[in-house]
Amino acid sequence: MPAVSLLLVACQVLIGAVFAVSAFTKLRGRAAMRSFASSLTMLPARLRLAAAGVVAAGEAAVAALMVVPRAGLPLAGVLLCGFCAVIVITMRQGLRVPCRCFGSSGSHLGPVHLVRNGLLLTVVALGWTALAVSGAPPTVAQLAIAVPAGLAGAILMIAWDDIADLFKETSGSV
């Protein structure tokens, strides 16, 4: 089943790259980690830095575990569900929390981020399904197709806020 192998590898690359970039943007320095921690306003101040560290470590673990998709895909799914819960809680409480998913962002957590996480959860589910029915490991030719496809998808997910901004209404425009 060559198509299944392609799908699995593309999913692994997409999820691995998204989580690697997200972890890197938080772990690249103290200022980045503190900035992320400060955005966790739904938690008591004394827990924010520790929670930020746990999230960043979880994201790094997902990226590393994508080489073992039976471990990496479920962990990615759990984290994404947790992120969705945080976004929903933030929205319901009426908080305006900046998105720190991929470093600094001008947008606040909201429906656009739930859509992105829903798409990422779909990729996790597709990867899990492909894993369940995959047979032989992918060939070099299949990797040459699946890896760039996964990277292209990851770029779209990482740039999601910027893409969503293109579709927002602006006042005073003709």
73-115 tens-digit pLDDT: 999 999 999 999 989 998 998 888 877 778 666 688 889 999 9
Q: Up-side HSE of residue 2: CA atoms within 13 Å toward CB? A: 7
Question: For the chain, how far is it from start to end, CA to CA, in angstroms?
Answer: 51
The model's pLDDT over 27-36, given as tens digits with 9 standing for 90+, comes to: 999 998 998 8
Is residue 119 over pLDDT 70? yes
Domain residue extents for the chain: 2-163
- Calpha distance 93→128 (Å, rounded): 34
Q: Write the burial class of residue 31 (CB in 10 Å: 0-12 exposed, 13-18 middle, 19+ buried).
A: exposed
Give the pLDDT of residue 105: 67
Closest CA to 7 of 155, 133, 158: 133
